[in-house]
Amino acid sequence: MTVTVLSEVAAGAEDLSVWPASTQRLPHGGLAVGGVSLAEVADRFETPAYVLDEGEVRGRCRTYQDAFPAADVLYAAKAFLSRAMVRWVREEGLGLDVCSAGELELAVTAGFPPERIVLHGNAKSPRDLEAALRLGVGRIVIDGPSEIARIAAAVGPEGHQKVMVRVVPGVSAGGHDKIRTGTDDQKFGLSLTDGGAQHAISRILGQPQLELTGLHCHIGSQITEVKPYLVALRRMVGLMARIRDTHGVVLSELDMGGGHGIAYRPGEPALDLTALARRLRAELHRGCAAARLTIPRLLIEPGRAVVGPAGVAVYRVLAVKHTGEKVFVAVDGGMSDNPRPALYGVRYAPRLIGRASTAGCRTATVVGRHCEAGDVLAADVELPGDIHPGDLLAVPVAGAYQLSMASGYNLVGRPAVVAVHQGSARLLVRRETLDDFRSRDIGD
């Protein structure tokens, strides 16, 4: 496809800073991502559709590799996972962290080396552990005391499994209280302050078939400042020094998790990755030198920051309703494909695509088609005053925690995922259909 880029004067001054780097303006109000018109994607694959820019994903993987050349970068599969995503991450040299047997088996069957996979989870099922041991997962992160005996028994007296311990460092950080995981008042990990982590470590070291390689912590998500990571790292290094002094064991790995914040709308803050990498390295070297501790290998687990800005959701307007002073623009998706606004109050910046409008903007609320008053995709956003049914809306920064959290509410069906790259589009995940629902419903 030939892309004709309009001048800034002709196209207006819309801020595309949160869109994929490949985004280009087209004539008549269109946008292209990865060299493909989003309106053409909507016509070819129908709506709602999730468009994933392969080049943006790969570029962000490389950015992490460049920023952390001496660390292991693990993509957090919970943000979004598909066979194509597995391949992109593998080819760019990243590892993978997974939270279930489903994520693990999809990754391995798609060709990902199991030894480069870390299994997480606050409540791992027997199936999760069976799959991890059968497939030879690289690390299992122990999240609670009951897992120690369970894993040891599953491994058996002649077996061997590398494990880490998830430590709660007592650091509060994150964009919403539901995604703050570094303090003792949530379900993840073992507390540093009450001694739970230290007790678990002692027990693990008493299990000869379990090899404790290091510590893990994850303090939250959508974090845009470096300081909380530095505080957490100091506490983790302090614990590693105490483990050496108490048990004579020097741990070789320190996993600082992810949660790196991104901008969802122009002007919002994002975590400075270069500053994070530089200051983490400096703090790790300083802390280990002070404690006379061998410097462990650093691991990090970005998910949202890799795939979030690479995704664009495309919807078609079904209805426009004027209720008093409010304007509601209803689209053919909603909370079944993106529950994040309802869960966390997340705000997006949707944009009209596919046609040019000369009408002035007015404040509108973009809502979904589901039977919930809270089915709101974007509240109080500026859209052209002449928006009408049949128009297309595109929502940037839609690659993470949308389809991975999608549901079957109202039996609407989850959208298709379309990859775009160098002017071509291909289907990665087909649309969920009524036949899919019927095939699972086997009762009468």
Nearest to 413 by CA among 332, 339, 352, 344: 332
Which parts of 130-198 are beta strand (E)? 139-142, 161-168, 190-191
Quick one: CA dihedral 399, 400, 404, 408, positive or negative?
Answer: negative
CB within 8 Å of 153: residues ≥ 6 apart: none
Contact (CB, 8 A) for 138 and 162: yes
**Token digits for 150?**
């369970």
pLDDT per residue over 103-152, tens digit each? Answer: 999 999 999 999 999 999 999 999 999 999 999 999 999 999 999 999 99
User: Which residues lie below 8 Å from residue 417, measured CB to CB, with a gap of 6+?
Assistant: 49, 50, 52, 82, 403, 427, 428, 429
What sign has the CA pseudo-torsion 378, 379, 381, 385?
positive
Catalytically annotated residue among 61, 99, 288, 371: 371
Q: Which residues of 29-68 are buried (b: 16+ CB within 10 A; e: fewer)?
A: bbbbbbbbbbbbbbeebebbbbbbbbbbbbbbbebbeebb
Q: Kindly report the pTM of this predicted structure.
A: 0.93
> What are the pLDDT tens digits along the chain (444 aa)?
333 343 333 333 479 999 999 999 999 899 999 999 999 999 999 999 999 999 999 999 999 999 999 999 999 999 999 999 999 999 999 999 999 999 999 999 999 999 999 999 999 999 999 999 999 999 999 999 999 999 999 999 999 999 999 999 988 655 545 444 545 566 788 988 888 999 999 999 999 999 999 999 999 889 999 999 999 999 999 999 999 999 999 999 999 999 999 999 999 999 999 999 999 999 999 999 999 999 999 999 999 999 999 999 999 999 999 998 899 999 999 999 999 999 988 999 999 999 999 999 999 999 999 999 999 999 999 999 999 999 999 999 999 999 999 999 999 999 999 999 999 999 999 999 999 999 999 998
Q: Which pairs count as long-range contacts for 231-235, CB under 8 Å and 24+ apart, including other chains?
A: 231/169, 231/171, 232/169, 232/171, 232/182, 232/256, 233/280, 233/283, 233/284, 233/287, 234/283, 234/287, 235/169, 235/170, 235/171, 235/192
User: 68-302: which CATH topology?
Assistant: TIM Barrel (3.20.20)
CATH of 8-51+310-440, one of 1.10.30.50, 2.120.10.80, 3.10.20.30, 2.40.37.10: 2.40.37.10
Domain boundaries, the chain: 8-51+310-440, 68-302
Residues paired with residue 322 on neighbouring β-strands, in sequence order: 327
Residue 253 CA: distances (Å) to CA of 139, 170, 186, 295: 11, 20, 24, 9
Q: What gap in Å lies between CA 354 and CA 32, rounded to an integer?
A: 10
pLDDT digits (tens, 9 = 90+) for 212-250: 999 999 998 899 999 999 999 999 999 999 999 999 999
* Residue 371: active-site member: yes
